[in-house]
Structure 1
Amino acid sequence: MNYVYLKRLYAKRAELEAKLELHDARYCFGEEEVDDGTDSDLRQRLSEIADEIAALESGRVTKAS
């Protein structure tokens, strides 16, 4: 298991979640320019990272059993 890589994925996920929260907040305050596809791009990247983290974590659990 590559724990350094997994740790980087956790950090990247946190960074993307923070960007998404900021994007959502800007949208709530009526900034029209934020409706440019960034929301869907961030959500897609978060989903990809979450899938990769889940795969790595399930591999860790399987190997430990």
Structure 2
Amino acid sequence: MNPLLEEARAWLRKARSDLLSARILVEHSPLVLGPAAFHCQQAAEKTLKAFLISRSVPFERVHSL
């Protein structure tokens, strides 16, 4: 398999995990919206990285896009 696509899929798996974490937090208590929003932001960032990797678009490997 293409190593770039495999890396992109790995990022998408991490993003799904973040979304699941956010969902669990929101369902557990509305008082944890801040941490849930953090996990949503992380999922969005990881999904964007997966897209860029799948398209061979270079980007800095940092925590801020």
- TM-score band by shorter chain is 0.5 to 0.7
Task: Report the TM-score when normalising by structure 1.
Answer: 0.54
In the TM superposition, 1:1-65 aligns within 5 A as: 3-30=2-29, 32-36=31-35, 37-49=37-49, 51-52=51-52, 55=55
Which runs of no fewer than 5 residues in structure 1 stay unpaired?
57-65
Distance 1:43 1:15 in 2: 7
User: How many pairs does the alignment contain?
Assistant: 55
Which runs of no fewer than 5 residues in structure 2 stay unpaired?
57-65
Q: Name the larger-Rg structure.
A: 1
Task: Report the TM-score when normalising by structure 2.
Answer: 0.54
Measured on the aligned residues, the alpha-carbon RMSD in Å equals 2.7
Report sequence identity in percent. 9
Distance 1:3 1:12, change over 3 A: same
AA matched with 1:33 = V
Deviation of 1:47 (Å): 4.3
User: Could you say what secondary structure the match of 1:35 adopts?
Assistant: helix
Deviation of 1:33 (Å): 3.0
